[in-house]
Amino acid sequence: MAKDAVIITSGGMDSTTLLYEYKDEIALAITFDYGSTQNGRERVCAVTHCQRLGIKHIIIPLEFMHRYFKSALLETADDIPEGNYDDENMKSTVVPFRNGIMLAIACGIAESNGLKRVMIANHAGDHAIYPDCRPGFIQAMSQAMQNGTYEGIKIFAPYTSISKADIARHGKRLGIDYSETYSCYKGREKHCGKCGTCRERREALREAGIVDTTEYECDDPQS
C-alpha cells in the first residue's frame, strides 16, 4: 500500500498504537510541542518509536498555545487534577481547539508533501471531555480539509468509536511494549498513578489483559 499519510503522534498509548498498526501507510509523523506538562516525556517516546520504525519524524513548536491558551495542562504539575477520568474532574485539562489547530497544520504539511490523509488517534473515551475528539468534529474537520485543499485531504481516525481498552487490545496483538509510552499529565519521570490519565491507562491495560510494567509513583488502588 502507498505511504500517503501524515500521522499526529504524541508518544502516548493511542497514537503509538496507531503508528504501529498503520506503519506501512505512513510517510511522515508529526509531534507538536505546545508546552503541556507531559509534552517532553511523550516526545521522547514518539522519537523512539518513529526511529525504530524508520518513519520520518518532525517536531513542530506551538509555543503560542502555552502563552495564550488557558488549561491546567499548560500550567504546572500541581494544577493537574487527581482522581477519575470523568467530565468534571478532567475538564480543566482541555486545551481549547488543540486538535483543530494540529489537524489544520498537519493538513497543510500533507498537501505540501503530496500526501492525502492525516491520521489521528482520538477515541470514544475522550468524547465526553474533549469536544475536538468527538465524531461530529472529526467529520466536520475532515470535510473542511477536503474542501480547502486541491488534493481533497481527509482525516483517518479509525479509533473514534472504540475505547482505550480496545486500542490496547490492538496493541497487544501488535506486540507493543506500552512501558515505552507516556500518559501522565503531571509530566514527572514516573507516572504519578493518581491523575485521570494514569487511572485511565491502568484500567485500559487491565481490561486488555496486558501486564502493566509502567513505573508509577503509587500503587493501583484496584489491584
Residues 4/27, Cβ–Cβ less than 8 Å? yes
Does residue 218 have a known ligand-binding role?
no
**Is position 31 annotated in a ligand binding site?**
no
24 in a known ligand binding site: no
11 annotated to a ligand binding site? yes
9 annotated to a ligand binding site: yes
Check whether 184 is labelled as a binding-site residue.
Answer: yes
Q: Quickly tell me which residue has 485500559 as its cell.
A: 204
Is 198 labelled as part of a ligand binding site? yes
Q: Which amino acid, residue 2?
A: A
Query: Does 17 belong to an annotated binding site?
Result: yes
Cα–Cα distance for residue pair 12/63, rounded to 1 Å: 20
State yes or no: 93 annotated in a binding site.
Answer: no
45 is in an annotated binding site: no
196 carries a ligand binding annotation: no
Residue numbers in the known binding site for Zn(2+) are 184, 192, 195, 198
Residue numbers in the known binding site for ATP are 9-19
Residue numbers in the known binding site are 9-19, 184, 192, 195, 198
